[in-house]
Chain A
C-alpha cells in the first residue's frame, strides 16, 4: 500500500520564512506613504474609522489567525475601552493620551479575566464562552449608571494631546490616530514574528504536539488572548475619541461578528488581510448607507460569496497567486 499525503494544500501565507521579508517592509512603507497623503484627498474621519477597525481586526486576527482561537466576544474589549476612554475624557477631564491608556488597560484587565476562563474550553465552546462574557459586558453597559444606557456617552471632548496640541481639528487628530494604529500594527507584526509567535503558530497547528514538546500551551494562549484584547481596546479607545462617542453598538455582539467578518474577508492568518477586510466593510457601510438595512444584506451576501469562492480571504488568495506570504 502506498501512502500519500492527503492534507489539503496550505496557503503560502501560512508559512513564514525566517527573518523579515523585504516585500513586507515595502508594503508597510507604501501603506504609510498612502496614509500620510490620504487625509488631504479623502474625508479624514472616514479614514480614521477604517484605521480603527483595521487595528481591531488585526488584533482579532492575532488571536484567530495565529493563535487558532476564535473569539466571538471581542466587542467586549473594544466597547469597554471605548466607554472608559469616553468617561475619562468627558467626566474626569483627562488628556486624550491618558484616556486612551486607561481604556486600553481596562481592556487588558478584562481580557485577563475572560481569557483565563475561556481558554479552559476549546473550539466552539471557547467561542461560546467569549460570546457569553461579551453579552454580560453588554448588559452591564446597558444598566450601569455611568455608561449613559441607550444614549451612550456623547460629545466626548477630544482635548489636547499632552495638554498642548488641540485635537479638535480632524487633520491633526488624523495624524495622532495614524501613529497609534500604525504603532499597533507594527506591534502585532512583531508579536507574530517573535519567538513567542513561533510557539503560538505551533500551538495553532498542533496543540497536543506542542504539549509533548514541553510547552505550557495554556499560558501562551492566555498571553495572546490578553495581547489581542489589549490591542482591541486600543482600537476602541481611539475610536471613542474620533467619533466623540461611546455607545452600546461598540459592545453589542454584532460588533464581535463584524470584526470576525472583516478578518475572514481579508484573510485570516495573513498580515495585511484584516486591513483590507476592514477597509472593504467600512467603505461599504459608509457609501451604501443610503440603502439602509440593505447594507446588512449586502454584507451577508459578500460573506457567503467569500466563504464559497475564496475561503482564504482576499489577501489569502492574492498571497497564493504571487506565492509570497502577505
Chain B
C-alpha cells in the first residue's frame, strides 16, 4: 500500500468552549499538491477547525503536524514562518497602506525581523519590482498606488491573495475566499486559486458549493464538530448523511 504524501494532518482535534464542544475528535489529512475543501452547515465547526490548524486557537486536545513535524505547540506567527499561511473570512488587507505596500509588507518578511528602526525605508524599494509583479498577477496594476481600504470588496480579496502568495507559502488556508463576492469576482478568484494551486497545497473553507465542486480534489464534510464524510465531490454529494445534514440544517 503506497501511502499518500500528507502535508498537514490533524489527529483527534478537539476544541471545547465553556460547556460546548465546537470541534470533536476531528481527523484530517491534507495531501500535498491538492485542493482540499472543508464544508458543512452553519455551526459545523469549520472556522474553529481552521483557527485550530493555524493556531489562532489553542486546541483542547489532539495534535497537528505539518510535513511530519508536530506543530501543536507553536505560535501562529511561527506557523506562518514554516510556510502555512492563512487568509481570513473578512478581507484582510492593511486598509491605510497602499496596494503596493500591502504586498511589500509580505515580501519584507524575507529580511527576517524588521527591527531596524534607524534605517531608511528606501531599503524596501528592493522589493518593489517583485511586488509589482504580484500585483499584476491578480490584475490590480491600475490600483497599485491606491489606499487598500478604498478598493472594492472583490479587489481587496485579490490583494489579500497577492499578499499571501508573496510569502511563497507551501500551503494556503483560505477561509471562505468567496464570501460576499459578486459573481464576476467569484470566477476571477476561482481561476486565480486554480492557478496558484498548481505549485501548492490549499485547504479552504467555502460555502459556495459550485465553487467547491469546481475546484476541490477532496472534500471533508463537518457536522456538529465531527467529520461526517470525506471523499471527492461526486461521492460526498450523494452521501445520504450529507444530504440530511444540509437539509436538516435548513440548507437547500
Q: Does B28 contact A (CB under 8 A)?
A: no
A209 & B94 in contact (Cβ 8 Å cutoff) = yes
Tell me whether A195 and B114 are in contact in the complex, defined as CB-CB below 8 angstroms, given that A201-B96, A212-B54, A216-B77 are known contacts. Answer: yes
B153 & A198 in contact (Cβ 8 Å cutoff) = no
List, in ascending order, chain B residues with CB within 8 A of A20's CB.
120
B85 & A213 in contact (Cβ 8 Å cutoff) = yes
- Distance (Å) between the CB of B88 and the closest chain A CB? 7
- Distance (Å) between the CB of B17 and the closest chain A CB? 19
In the complex, A109 Cα to B181 Cα: how many Å?
A: 49
In the complex, A190 Cα to B116 Cα: how many Å?
A: 10
Chain A contacts with B in 195-215, Cβ cutoff 8 A: 195-199, 201-202, 204-206, 208-215
List, in ascending order, chain A residues with CB within 8 A of B215's CB.
none
Closest to A3 in B: B153
In the complex, A315 Cα to B1 Cα: how many Å?
A: 70
Q: Does A227 contact B (CB under 8 A)?
A: yes
Partner of B180, one of A3, A194, A204, A223: A3
Q: Does B125 contact A (CB under 8 A)?
A: yes
- Distance (Å) between the CB of B195 and the closest chain A CB? 21
Tell me whether A195 and B95 are in contact in the complex, defined as CB-CB below 8 angstroms, given that A4-B153, A211-B77, A213-B163 are known contacts. Answer: no
Q: Does A320 contact B (CB under 8 A)?
A: no
Q: Which stretch of A6-14, A123-131, A248-256, A273-281 is in the interface? A: A6-14
B113 & A19 in contact (Cβ 8 Å cutoff) = no
Q: Does A1 contact B (CB under 8 A)?
A: yes
List, in ascending order, chain B residues with CB within 8 A of A204's CB.
96
Tell me whether A211 and B76 are in contact in the complex, defined as CB-CB below 8 angstroms, given that A191-B117, A201-B97 are known contacts. Answer: yes
Q: Does A116 contact B (CB under 8 A)?
A: no
- Distance (Å) between the CB of B50 and the closest chain A CB? 11
Q: Which 9 A-B pairs have the closest CB atoms?
A: A214-B80, A196-B117, A205-B94, A14-B96, A195-B114, A3-B153, A209-B92, A7-B149, A214-B81
- A–B pairs, 21, beta carbons within 8 Å: A3-B152, A8-B149, A9-B150, A10-B150, A15-B101, A18-B124, A19-B122, A191-B118, A194-B119, A195-B111, A195-B116, A195-B121, A197-B121, A198-B121, A202-B105, A208-B88, A212-B76, A212-B86, A214-B85, A215-B77, A223-B117
